[in-house]
Amino acid sequence: MTRHDAPPPTRGCRDAPVLKQRGQHEVFCGLTGIIWLHRKMQDAFFLVVGSRTCAHLLQSAAGVMIFAEPRFGTAILEETDLAGLKDAQEELEREVERLLARRPDIRQLFLVGSCPSEVIKLDLARAAERLTLRHAPKVRVLNYSGSGIETTFTEGEDACLASMVPALPKTDERQLMLVGALPDVVEDQALDLLAQMGIDKVSVLPARHADDPVAVGPNTVFALTQPFLGGTHAALERRGARHVPAPLPFGEEGTTAWLAALAQEFGVERARFDAVTDAPRARARRAVKQAAETLAGKTVFFFPDSQLEIPLARFLTRECGMQALEVGTPYLHKAILGPDLDLLAEGPQIAEGQDVDLQLERCRAARPDLTVCGLGLANPLEAEGLTTKWAIELVFTPVHFYEQAGDLAGLFSRPLRRRAALHLEAAE
């Protein structure tokens, strides 16, 4: 194998001081995770127990998808539920009965806690237990919280997957588990690469169907495909599984390092590794190179959103030649992101949490060439003359592994190319 990578930086960001601020957070709550999770788990239904605000959030975030008979909904708390005039547990059970009668195809039901249900301390765990007993074996009912007071955006997926771990059957088999919901096409590519290397005892969490065999035990090792899975990481370790630390599979370098960590774990010979990865690596490098022409030398500023920020900053700085000014993340799990932090050269301000007005001041002062932020900030910043890339797209779009590396870089280069292409001043 010929190495094209830049050597790792002499000083990475693992021990860089982290700016921790609190104040107004301009982020989504964990409920939004439902929007991509329900696409992945094809026989699951996500029932939020919450307020009209929760329903409105899902509707706003789901856009047009809401009309396609999606498998999620909200049991809206009404005044009588709060005043204790009705037994909330009974109310919930009645709504679930109606739902399951209407949707007999549902095999897994998630009761998803929200801020209102957490504040009134509605015991959804007990409800899930009772409902599981009643509907077993056909439907399994689980619960987790996607509330804003506890979870930020992608942490909703973490809470969901972590709720599934204790219920997984036990196995002593030596196996690999991939953890994180990926678009099917990406998941298939990952499984194919692993199989070519001879690693074929692989299961995926979350599985596409309730019946797909997923088990866990002391001889299970797991690899994360997403950075925001701290809770699931802990839950799997409690079941005796062991994490294989690696940079996350973004870009050619990230994917190779991620695969290499697993190759080493499973004793794959170097020659075989190279034989499997050389061609897709070259393809990925070629694809990234095109977009990198626009990106090289440009500065980038990340507002916190999904916890993908650090591995993406690593990809953009090392493979696309960008310079990171500030990398904001809602939470920083060093156990998971350590390898990525090692590769991110010292320099950018790492920020955890947010006080959005102060961060906006820093952003305006820095005048980055590209700002990665949420939809509430994107147009206002564009109007101020900054170029933005809205972050949510990075969660919905296939961006992991080799074949998507070029698309990933393209997501960042497109707004810059567009700004260069538009000549609107004369028209005003």
Partner 1 sequence: MKLTLWTYEGPPHVGAMRVATAMTGLHYVLHAPQGDTYADLLFTMIERRNHRPPVTYTTFQARDLGSDTANLFKTACQNAYERFKPEAMIVGASCTAELIQDDPGGMAETMGLPVPVIALELPSYQRKENFGADETFFQITRALAKPVEKTAHVSCNLIGPTALGFRHRDDITELTGMLADMGIAVNVCAPYGASPSDIARLGAAHFNVLMYPETGEAACRWMERELELPFTKTVPIGVGATRDFMAEVASLTGLTPQIDESRLRLPWYSASVDSTYLTGKRVFLFGDGTHVAAAARIARDEMGFEVVGMGCYNREMARPIRKLAKEYGVEALITDDYLEVEAAIEALAPEMILGTQMERMIGKRLNIPCAVISAPVHVQDYPARYSPQMGIEGANVIFDTWVHPLVMGLEEHLLHMFRDDFEFNDAAGASHHGGHHSTPASETKQPETADAATTGTVIWLDEAERELKKIPFFVRGKARRNTETFAANQGVHEIGIDTLYEAKAHYAR
* Burial 20-57, CB ≥16 within 10 A → b, else e: eeeeebbbbbbbbbbbbbbbbbebbbbbbbbbebbbeb
What is the rounded distance in angstroms from the CA atom of residue 350 to the CA atom of residue 352?
7
* Residue 402 C-beta: closest distance to partner 1, Å: 32
Beta carbons of 160 and 144 less than 8 angstroms apart: yes
d(CA 299, CA 318): 13
Q: Which is nearer to partner 1, 70 or 338 (CB)?
A: 70
Cα 324 from Cα 304, distance rounded (Å): 14
Q: Which residues are annotated as a binding site for [4Fe-4S] cluster?
A: 29, 54, 115
Binding site for partner 1 (CB under 8 A): 23-32, 47, 49, 51-53, 55-57, 59-61, 64, 66-67, 70, 72-79, 81-82, 88, 91-92, 94-95, 98-99, 115-116, 118-120, 147-150, 152, 357, 374-380, 382-383
Which residue, 309 or 319, has its beta carbon nearer to partner 1? 309
Q: Which is nearer to partner 1, 119 or 279 (CB)?
A: 119
Nearer to partner 1 (CB atom), residue 223 or residue 378: 378
CB of 24 to partner 1, least distance (A): 5
- Amino acid at position 138, single letter: K
Q: Least distance to partner 1 from the beta carbon of 54, Å?
A: 8
Helix-helix angle 309-319:251-265, to 10 degrees: 110
Find the shortest distance in angstroms from Cβ 419 to partner 1. 15
Q: How far is the CB of 31 from partner 1 (least distance, A)?
A: 7
* DSSP-derived 3-state class of residue 75: strand
Of 382 and 407, which CB lies nearer to partner 1 in the complex structure? 382
Residues that constitute the known binding site: 29, 54, 115
CB-wise, 102 or 423, nearer to partner 1?
102
Q: How far is the CB of 243 from partner 1 (least distance, A)?
A: 26
CA distance 24 to 403: 38
Q: Is the dihedral of CA 50, 211, 94, 90 positive or negative?
A: negative
Residue with Cβ nearer partner 1 (240 or 380): 380
Closest CB to partner 1 among residues 145, 317: 145
Q: What's the CA gap between 251 and 400, in Å, rounded?
A: 7
Question: Which single residue is written with the structure tokens 């690469």?
Answer: 193
CB-count exposure of residue 80 (10 Å: 0-12, 13-18, 19+): exposed
3-state secondary structure of 214: coil
CB 123 within 8 A of CB 116: no
Of 146, 187, 177, the residue nearest 163 (C-alpha): 146
CB 302 within 8 A of CB 326: yes
Helix (H) or strand (E) holding 45: strand 44-50
Q: By three-state DSSP, how is residue 423 classified?
A: coil
Minimum CB separation of residue 12 from partner 1 in Å reads 30
> Can you tell me the distance from the alpha carbon of 30 to that of 147, in angstroms, rounded to the nearest whole number?
6
User: How many C-beta atoms surround the C-beta of residue 238 within 10 A?
Assistant: 12
Least distance in angstroms from the C-beta of 411 to partner 1:
18
CB of 203 to partner 1, least distance (A): 32
Nearer to partner 1, 23 or 218 (CB): 23
